[in-house]
Structure 1
Amino acid sequence: MNPYNQSQPSAPPPPYQSVVNDNRSDQNNPRSNEQRSPNFDQFVNRYEISPSFAERLHKLKGYEIVFICDDSGSMSAPIGENTNPLQNQRTRWDELEQTVSIVVELASILDTDGVDVYFLNREPMLNVRNSSDLEIVFAMDPEGATPIVPVLRQVLKDKRNQIYERNLLVLIATDGVPTDERERTDIHTLEHVLKNERKPTNQIPVTFIVCTGKMKIFE
């Protein structure tokens, strides 16, 4: 599924509503109109991206891009209906792999450093420049809880020095609410990190990609 073709709903799911609203204003970072490369235009045409969204994507040139992937057990849930019994039914995990691959392709066009891909329950993959590099880790079934907060804090710590050189875009793809070390729902701490530990906020936009069978993006 092409995540960039999804229309943005008027409001995010209730668990993330207050978090999402805090981030909408942080994307407004003016940049000069740079000449778009042929590779970028080919990317836009391949995924049938609208002109307005393509313009927004091009403004990410120069950003450090980090993807936080939910690899909890619930990501193995199937999506849609399996109309062909001879084929394995696609899961949220499969769809996430496709989404990350698209982001990696985009980032390789805009930034030669590639994308750092963090997971909630396994080691990160740094400087990913080719989607084929993701095949090994996505071949392993997702399992575990949803500890978004400690991973987000680790990203902010790892990128602390780079933030003063260029903006940091954090993409968080998940199908559930964050949990603490006891696997209890903990939205409050995530809100605290976004409001108080993400500094300077105007240089660290955070976008949530909701993986619930119909991929949606909330800023």
Structure 2
Amino acid sequence: MGFTEKLKDGDPSRQQPVPSAPPHPNGEPYVSTNAQQRLHESTYDVPKYETRDHKDDYRGSRLDPSTIKLIDGGDADQLFLAGAPYHWRPFMQGLSQTQNSKDMNIVDKKLQTIIQAHKLQRFYEPPKYQAVLQKLSSIHFPGIAAQWKISKELAYDLASLALYDIVFFCDDSGSMIFEENGKRIDDLKFILSKVADIATLFDDDGIAVRFINSNVTGDGICNAADVEKLLSRVRFSGNTPLGTNFDRKVIQPLILEKARSNVPMAKPVLAILITDGEPVGESRDKIVQVIKEAKDSLECTPYGSGAFAVQIAQVGRDLKTQRFLESLDKDPTVGGMVDCTSYYEMEEEEFARNGVVLTPELWLLKLCVGAIDPDYDVQDE
């Protein structure tokens, strides 16, 4: 069963208080030793999800904007509201109360690590950096942890999104709608909605969205309603010229032109590519070429190559795509410049074989910060 298929309307008559769940099992194959240590040190409850065997009768994921349905029933306050545009509102209450100094020291250390790793000092001189910390001090991270069903320590990792402008480059090829009954589009909606919600907590500008084939653009996308409205304007058709159009629609106008402009870039850019297939209509090496050329070009600007981070994630169960992403991860030219995330269902099964519950939220956490947080900068095993 796909990760968005777990978002179903629950029968209220079946909902009962959720009993205490066991601590999250130790170990996360895709995170570094430091991140694993934080997982080991954390104690938080992981609810059981309704599942079924999908190896033989898989038909893709389904997004019903409602709630995750728990096997044991569930308290509505503990469930993730996938489609509600304002489901983060409880976390914005009490903004006059800042996080305690210990918590903000953790966030500060996390951000400083990322700034040092990617050489972002040009973007974050002391006054601007302090403004970022001030914004983060008004956010209730324990609330985010509860909503994402992760430890508070991992919720702090999401704060790194405050350092970046986030641009999604989305696959709108015909296979998105024709394969798996169009449920890959449901996955795309879920990803965009969830990331838009969390990104808007850290930056009122929300996220930007571009598409491989369509000229429809989305800027200031802040919630699920914005995502639904945007995708309703997109006609899913055509091939997958991933590298060619990523360069034309994202790298050139949103990164290199701004880096070369007399107007300072406000933030580095985190580009998240969501695709269901390997490139079609261009060589497989085109995406490698354009990323490498962009990184080299940025080295000739005051901002350096760290001004551009790349995450590539897969929706759908296409094995050729999964192997393509593996090849990018291992590519000697760009393997260290990109982070690749395989489709959720495969990772879920792989984690389960090791006795680890991989929730949709943990998968999304990796998607959000895998390209920018050094603690996640290792290949999936």
> Do they superpose with TM above 0.5?
yes
Deviation at 1:117, TM superposition (A): 0.6
1:202 has 2:306 as partner: yes
Identity of aligned residues (%): 25
Q: Does 1:126 align with 2:223?
A: no
Structure ranking higher in helix proportion: 2
Which runs of structure 2 are paired with 1:161-176 in the superposition (5 Å)?
161=258, 164-176=265-277
Say whether the 8 Å CA contact 2:142–2:152 is kept in structure 1. Answer: no
Q: CA RMSD in A?
A: 3.1
**Counterpart position of 1:148:** 242
* Shift, 1:74, TM fit: 1.4
Which residue identity lines up with residue 203 of structure 1 in the other structure? Answer: A
| Structure having the higher Rg | 2
Tell me by how many angstroms 1:141 deviates: 5.5
Question: Which of the residues 163, 185, 190 maps onto 1:98?
Answer: 190
SS at match of 2:290: helix
Cα drift, residue 90 of structure 1: 6.7
* Structure 2: distance between partners of 1:58 and 1:117: 21
1:211 maps to 2:328: no
Deviation at 1:68, TM superposition (A): 0.7
8 Å CA contact retained: 2:144, 2:155: no
Distance change in 2, residues 1:53/1:134 (3 Å): same
The residue type paired with residue 95 of structure 1 is: D
Paired residue type of 2:240 = T
1:13 paired residue number = none
Shift of 1:95: 0.9
Letter in 2 for 1:101: S
1:88-143: per-residue Cα shift (whole Å, max 9, x none)?
x6711111110110111011111111111111121111121222012134345622
SS at match of 1:164: coil
Residue pair 1:27, 1:205 contacting (<8 A) in 2 also = no
TM-score when scaled to structure 1?
0.71
Matched, 1:158 2:238: no
Tell me, yes or no, if the aligned pair for 1:26 and 1:203 is still in contact at 8 Å.
Answer: no
Q: How much has 1:67 moved relative to structure 2? A: 0.6
Shift of 1:211: 0.9
What runs of 5+ residues in structure 1 fail to find an aligned partner?
A: 11-24, 79-88
Deviates more, 1:111-120 or 1:199-208: 199-208
Please give the secondary structure, in 2, of the residue aligned with 1:208.
strand
Distance in 2, matches of 1:201 and 1:178, equals 24
Alignment size in residue pairs: 187
Equivalent in the alignment of 1:21: none
Which structure has more relative contact order (CA 8 Å, sep 6+)? It is: 1
Amino acid at match of 2:155: A
Change beyond 3 A, Cα 1:196–1:138: same
1:193 counterpart = 2:287: no
Give the letter aligned to residue 127 of structure 1.
Answer: G
Q: CA deviation at 1:190?
A: 0.8
Secondary structure class of the residue paired with 1:45 = helix
**Mind listing any 5+ residue stretches in structure 2 that lack a counterpart?**
5-27, 32-113, 299-303, 318-342, 345-362, 372-381
Matched, 1:56 2:157: yes
